[in-house]
Amino acid sequence: QTIYLKDYAPSPYLIERVELDVRFEESETRVRALLTILPNRDTEPGTPLVLDGDELTLDTIAIDGLPLVLSAYAATPDALTLMEPPHRRFVLETEVRLTPETNTRLMGLYRSNGVWCTQCEPEGFRRITYFLDRPDILSTYKVTMTADRALAPILLSNGNPSGGGDAGDGRHYAVWEDPFPKPAYLFALVAGDLAAIHDSFTTASGRKVALAIYCEHGKQEQCAYAMDALKRSMAWDERRFGLEYDLDVFNIVAVSDFNFGAMENKGLNIFNDKLVFARPETATDVDYAGIESVIAHEYFHNWTGNRITCRDWFQLCLKEGLTVYRDQEFTMDERSRPVARIEDVRKLRATQFPEDGGPLAHPARPDNYREINNFYTATVYEKGAEIVRMLATLLGEAGFRKGMDLYFERHDGDATTIEAFIAVFAEASGRDLSQFEQWYLQAGTPDLEVGETWDEATRRYSLSFRQRTRPTPGQPEKAPMVIPVRFGLVGPNGSDMGWSGVSGGRVESDLIVLEDGETTITFEGVASRPVPSLLRGFSAPVNLTSSLGQAEKLFLARHDADPFNRWQALQDVAMKLIIDAVDGAALSTADADAFTDALVETLGAEGLDDAFKAHALTLPAETDIARIIGKSVDPDAIHAARQSLIAAISERAGHALGEAYDARSADTPYSPGAAEAGRRALRNTVLGLLVRGGAPGAAARATTQYHEAGNMTDRLAALSSAVAAWTGDAQALLEDFRTHHTADPLVYDKWLAANAIAPHGGTLERLRAILADPDFPRNNPNRLRALVGSFANANPTQFGRADGAGFRFVTDFVADVDRRNPNVAARVLTAFRVWRTYEPGRREAAERALRGLAEAGGLSRNTADILARTLDTA
Ligand code: ARG
Ligand code: ZN
């Protein structure tokens, strides 16, 4: 059954206040709810009230204290209907009984490691009590929790603590009050035997906030970095957006079984523990950066998501796109702006672009869905952030801030829409943003082609742009988009050139704003032929193709004032060399020399940080190459072509690379800061090139680094390069890691992923053996994703095996896990979104695996929806 945005109507009833009484027992939990309900304006007397449920059983029901007669209501596991509710404010009292112990879906109330916890977004609250479970129902909550004191000394919910005490029989209780009206998806509670670290933060206006991070006993020291990131996030939101925290406490809880990354429940963020725990011996630099950014993301939701929430789930991007933009900006301010931008764009291209170009493409604001859980996508999150970034680019920093200020002023306390969000920016800037709004409405990545002409006699230089967006499911015709192109005209000496006049389009200093399908912009008074540097900082999420040759790209790689485009130029050059090789052209000595020279020059350049250099030395990923090739993809050919370029580089630059490696081998104590992390990233990228390029002694160097590493970043990098190159030591290193480093479950995940990404014919057998082990934790999302998610998304040659065994392995896994956890199963299945781009043999094999899954039947709504859209049978 499909839900359409056009059918949105306000709820006939509102719920003003929620009082929950939750009693935890060893094997069941009772939830008594007192809901203060009133008819909405315009609701006719006698309109039935239908509350949502999901696998609920009703024990008792009363209105204003009087039990209801059987004919007055109907209760099923997924709905509670009051035939003729009072036409006034009334209190509905219900009681249900839950078994969180058997809740393997990890939605609603469940138990992780003995700890009771919740995940309600988007529709989990209805698994806890009958409710109007939609985000435009805002209520204040009072929550009373009662549990055995020994089993659950810690009792947490949203808002501020407001009492508690002894409940007799070894039990105790706690009361929490949240004064801010909120939708049910932001509800949370946690009860268990947890340790904690405590800190505090004083807001700009002097509110002293008690901060705590709760975790499993013994893991407290591993929460210190997350706490530091939280305090920096709180300070940043005050500085950058004038936004302060609004409760007396802010709690974070780390749990080990969690379907997603983390959740922004009001005053009580719940986190997947892999995004909290960090110490040098077990977490990599990438893990530290991920923790910092997700801690910030969830904290920033307090304003963009909680104080201002979504009217309906079609508006998900209102809170997610904007909050990702905010966490990206935080990372840029805390670390290096260009490096963060490169990382964000790499992620966008790796996750969102393939989604936008395949059968699962959808607008950032979809207009229909069958299962909302399937719309927590790279499009809603990452493309959503790009849309906000374009808005900031078009309006300028001050104009954007003015719009944000107006957004908070106008909509604080609202459940609102993307339309309303755009409207405040239009109002604050006086601009017409109606065409810009298409970015939310139209799916697909625009292709932007550019050509240039230069006339020496008239000193006229023109750029001609043509944009086109290919059809996506349900959207055969596409309108032209507003595309902000930040640019410079780079002169022969490497600096940006000026011009004396412009015609043919909108040019605002270093920004070209495209609005039409075709635009030609002419610059007057251009002294010599420039090399155009376009889309600086990746100012719009489009696929740019230009007529620039390899030599001009290499010129930009050396001279562009925009570091992002220096990186992009090197990527483009590598991409062309690899694709030519896939097409059968041998890599010429001249091309290999020219490219290697540019890399070596970048490696030695002054004024570029190591983290930037590490990205510059990283060739486009095999999946990215496949995306650019776009059809008849043969992952083995791509792997071989990329591999031969790596070999050519390592052969030519072995000496310089070796020196760069040695120069960064300083044995300073580990610190997770950006500069130190950059140093390690460059050193490990160099190691990877040398090992994969088969440089003499490189495999031994990896083995040595593996054994001598003082931190997980260096150890895992050494292991990964050995595995990626499948050196003689790879197998032994995997065994060693298994034996010595996997007592910690989060490190065990790294071992699982290392096995999963080996580009080696024996990989599938290893994975089957790991999964078949009766001790394998088959219900933990992190373990499952580390093993099978990594295989499907990061091992293109083995997932895409010509014999189809990789595809079948994944569909068999999906069928099995789907019975226990539909969210995990459906997410893994999205790896098939590229299936139609394979060459015919693999395409048929993938289709056979998918059809087999469909024919077996019995799938959850989540998985059935992804499958139907992937096969285009929806
Ligand atoms: N709102 C959470 C966040 O952005 C994620 C919730 C994920 N829920 C889901 N159904 N995928 O951090
Ligand atoms: Zn979010």
Taking residue 1's Cβ as centre, other Cβ atoms within 10 Å add up to: 5
Q: What percentage of the chain reaches a pLDDT higher than 90?
A: 99
Which ligand places an atom closest to the C-alpha of 262? Answer: 1
Instruction: Report pLDDT digits (tens) over 815-856.
Output: 999 999 999 999 999 999 999 999 999 999 999 999 999 999
Instruction: Report pLDDT digits (tens) over 240-285.
Output: 999 999 999 999 999 999 999 999 999 999 999 999 999 999 999 9
Return the closest-CA partner of residue 452 out of 516, 522, 518.
522
Whether 122 lines ligand 1, by a CB cut-off of 6 Å, is yes
Instruction: Report pLDDT digits (tens) over 457-466.
Output: 999 999 999 9
pLDDT band at residue 874 using 50, 70 and 90 as cut-offs: confident
Indicate which residue's Cα is closest to atom 11 of ligand 1: 376
Q: How many CA atoms lie within 13 A of 231 on its CB side?
A: 16
Instruction: Report pLDDT digits (tens) over 708-737.
Output: 999 999 999 999 999 999 999 999 999 999
3-state secondary structure of 760: coil
Q: CA–CA separation, 388 vs 384, rounded Å?
A: 7
Given the structure tokens 């499948």, which residue do they identify? 726
DSSP annotation string for 576-614:
HHHHHHHTTPPPPHHHHHHHHHHHHHHHH-TT--HHHHH
Whether 376 lines ligand 1, by a CB cut-off of 6 Å, is yes
3-state secondary structure of 191: strand
Instruction: Report pLDDT digits (tens) over 465-503.
Output: 999 999 999 999 999 999 999 999 999 999 999 999 999
Give the chain's mean pLDDT.
98
Q: How many CA atoms lie within 13 A of 689 on its CB side?
A: 31
Among 105, 376, 377, the mutation site with the greatest number of ligand 1 atoms within 8 A of its Cβ is 376
- Cβ-Cβ contacts under 8 Å for 751 (sequence gap 6 or more): 734, 737, 738, 741, 742
- Which ligand 1 atom is nearest residue 320's CA? 4
3-state secondary structure of 227: helix
pLDDT band at residue 666 using 50, 70 and 90 as cut-offs: low
Confidence check: pLDDT of 294 > 70: yes
pLDDT band at residue 610 using 50, 70 and 90 as cut-offs: very high
For the entire predicted model, the pTM comes to 0.98
Res 812: pLDDT: 98
Ligand 1 geometric centre to CA of 71 (Å): 39
Instruction: State the complex-level ipTM.
Output: 0.98
Instruction: Report pLDDT digits (tens) over 16-31.
Output: 999 999 999 999 999 9
pLDDT band at residue 668 using 50, 70 and 90 as cut-offs: confident
Indicate which residue's Cα is closest to atom 2 of ligand 1: 263
- Which ligand 1 atom is nearest residue 323's CA? 4
Confidence check: pLDDT of 147 > 70: yes
The arithmetic mean of pLDDT across residues 52-60, rounded, is 98
Instruction: Report pLDDT digits (tens) over 492-540.
Output: 999 999 999 999 999 999 999 999 999 999 999 999 999 999 999 999 9
Q: What percentage of the chain reaches a pLDDT higher than 70?
A: 100
Whether 809 lines ligand 1, by a CB cut-off of 6 Å, is no
* Bridge partners for 462 per DSSP: 453, 522
Among 54, 123, 186, 260, the mutation site with the greatest number of ligand 1 atoms within 8 A of its Cβ is 260
**Contact present, 109 and 100 (Cβ < 8 Å):** yes
Name the helix (H) or strand (E) containing 126.
none
Instruction: Report pLDDT digits (tens) over 84-133.
Output: 999 999 999 999 999 999 999 999 999 999 999 999 999 999 999 999 99
* Bridge partners for 268 per DSSP: 251
Ligand 2 geometric centre to CA of 710 (Å): 34
- Which ligand 1 atom is nearest residue 298's CA? 12
CA separation (Å) from 67 to 35, 95, 128? 15, 12, 21
Res 669: pLDDT: 87
> How would you classify the pairing of strands 249-255 and 268-272?
parallel
**Contact present, 304 and 226 (Cβ < 8 Å):** no
Ligand 1 geometric centre to CA of 444 (Å): 23
Q: How many CA atoms lie within 13 A of 783 on its CB side?
A: 16
Name the helix (H) or strand (E) containing 627.
helix 622-629
Q: Which residues are catalytic?
A: 298
Name the helix (H) or strand (E) containing 498.
none
Among 119, 120, 263, the mutation site with the greatest number of ligand 1 atoms within 8 A of its Cβ is 263
3-state secondary structure of 720: helix
The arithmetic mean of pLDDT across residues 591-615, rounded, is 97
The arithmetic mean of pLDDT across residues 149-165, rounded, is 98
**Contact present, 133 and 59 (Cβ < 8 Å):** no
**Contact present, 244 and 205 (Cβ < 8 Å):** yes
Res 872: pLDDT: 95
CA separation (Å) from 569 to 321, 343, 590? 28, 15, 18
